[in-house]
Copies of this chain bind each other. A is one copy, B any other.
Amino acid sequence: MLSSAKIKLINSLRFKKYRDRYGLFVIEGDKLVGEFLESGKPVKILLALDKWIEKTDKTLVSSAEEIIKVNERELVKVSQHKTPQNALALVHIEKYSPDKLSVSRTLSIALDNIQDPGNLGTIIRIAAWFGIDNILCSHGTVDLYNPKTVQSSMGALLHVKVCYTDLAVLIPQLREMGTSIYAATLDGEPVQNIEKTDTGLLLFGNESRGISGELIPYVTNRIIIPSFRKALPGIDSLNVAMSAAIVCYEFRRNRRIK
């Protein structure tokens, strides 16, 4: 039975204030809940229909701290979807500090005030696909645990460390460690012409304002994704998630798989 206090708790987690207060976020969907349980991430509460629990590995199910069997009607009350699937879970938020050494030795992504939760989720998915382990977000970037971010990252959350930090402090430190800072801008060198390395920070800026002025002095390479048309009235850039997809692809294009 799902108590009204639990319903209230789960629905409150749509808002960052309550996610921060309780240190919890919500994941939805049979596949995603299964993947989180399998990954060993700390699941606080698992809500699921009988039929889902029956067909799921017992050890996995019992790895949740609390298991609540619910019916369809109860699930609708806490789901973001009109027709929810069979499982939903509350997961403990894990906070990472930026691992400067790991970032300086690999290819990483930095996001400067990305506002759209769908863009953040998509970029996490791109990072996972292209073997990028670390995403550094400015404090002004949208919350990782926003339901839309979780949904659009589609499980890639499990493969990528996303941490929030002051980029104006961290990026100068990375520069001192010799890390190249590649910034996606509106003017610069076509990304295909850049000499690629297995290390470096790929920096993407806010959807409308681009990269903060205070970070610009630390950029070592300004890169663009050239348009195939000389002039395109009304369109001056690609969406940031598309830019990230292309830049990450290009950096991994001729590299050997991990």
Contact = CB atoms under 8 A, between A and B. Distances in A.
A253 B158 CA distance: 32
A84 interface: no
A238 B245 contact: yes
Contacts of A250: 249
Contact of A130 (B158, B228, B234, B253): B228
A241 B225 CA distance: 16
B246 A249 contact: yes
A229 B248 CA distance: 13
A159 B235 CA distance: 10
Given A225-B249, A255-B228, A242 B130 contact: no
Q: Which of A129, A152, A250 has the most CB of B within 10 A?
A: A129
A258 B228 contact: yes
Contact of A125 (B154, B229, B238): B238
Can you tell how many copies of this chain the complex includes? 2
A257 interface: yes
A155 interface: yes
Interface in A215-255: 225-230, 232-235, 238-239, 241-242, 245-246, 249-250, 252-255
A118 B228 CA distance: 22
Nearest to A256: B228
B233 A35 contact: yes
Give me the 7 closest cross-chain CB pairs, A-B, nearest first.
Answer: A131-B228, A155-B234, A242-B245, A35-B234, A130-B228, A246-B249, A228-B252
Given A129-B225, A131-B227, 13 more contacts: A38-B233, A125-B242, A126-B242, A130-B227, A130-B228, A131-B228, A154-B234, A155-B233, A156-B235, A158-B233, A159-B235, A246-B246, A249-B250
